[in-house]
Amino acid sequence: MFYSHFIDFALPLIVGNILHMWMVKGDYLAFLNRPLSIRLFGENKGSRAFIVLPLFTAITSICLDSNNWAEAGVLGFGLGLVYLLSELPNSFLKRALGIPAGERSIDYPLLQALVDKSDSLIGTILFYLYMVDGTILLGIQLFGLAFLIHNSLSYLFWKGGFKSNF
């Protein structure tokens, strides 16, 4: 049971984020990439992500559950959208504290790293639990495994030169 939840939750986000990263790296659809607000969120939070990431996660969800494509599409689109929305409070706080876009706090780098790697997970897990009527235990399990995978992939993409920071 946990395995199917993990696949339904994590795989659309993994595929969606990899495809989004590919678009950013190749500067595809650059005309869509306008900063939401440089003052509030920094220059790295752009509108292209809010268009393509929910679409990529929705398409991946539909591919995983072609029997119920409408529900799968809503779940995937929501996961992608909530992923992005969950990053905005952290970006806002960093700008308010004077931390440059893409950087971490000098005074609290480990705390900032933890927040950077968990903000979107917490948001998407809460959304997923709501959508599937999941339990708190399922949320804790999803967070643990997804946190490990998220950090592992981030590290690999950073080492491979696909990301500028870990």
Total of domains in the chain: 1
Task: pLDDT band for 166, please (50, 70, 90 cuts).
Answer: low
Does residue 39 carry a pLDDT above 80? yes
Query: b vs e for 58-78, b when ≥16 Cβ sit within 10 Å of the residue's Cβ?
Result: bbbbbebbeeeeeebbebbbb
In a domain, 166, yes or no: no
User: What six digits make up the tokens of 51?
Assistant: 């268009």
Nearest to 98, CA basis, from 82, 112, 79:
112
Q: Give the domain extent around 62.
A: 2-159
17-31, 117-131, 151-165 — which one is most confidently predicted on average?
Answer: 117-131
Is there a domain that residue 129 lies in?
Answer: yes
> Over pLDDT 90: what percentage of the chain?
63
Which pLDDT belongs to residue 77? Answer: 98
Q: Is residue 85 part of a domain?
A: yes
Interval 42-90: pLDDT, tens? 888 999 999 999 999 999 999 999 789 999 999 999 999 999 999 999 9
Domain-located, residue 25: yes
On the CB side of 81, CA atoms within 13 Å amount to 10
> Within a domain: residue 56?
yes
Residue 22 in tokens: 């590919």
Question: Does some domain include residue 64?
Answer: yes
Residue 102 in contact with residue 164, Cβ under 8 Å? yes
Quick check: is 164 in a domain? no
* Domain presence at residue 165: no
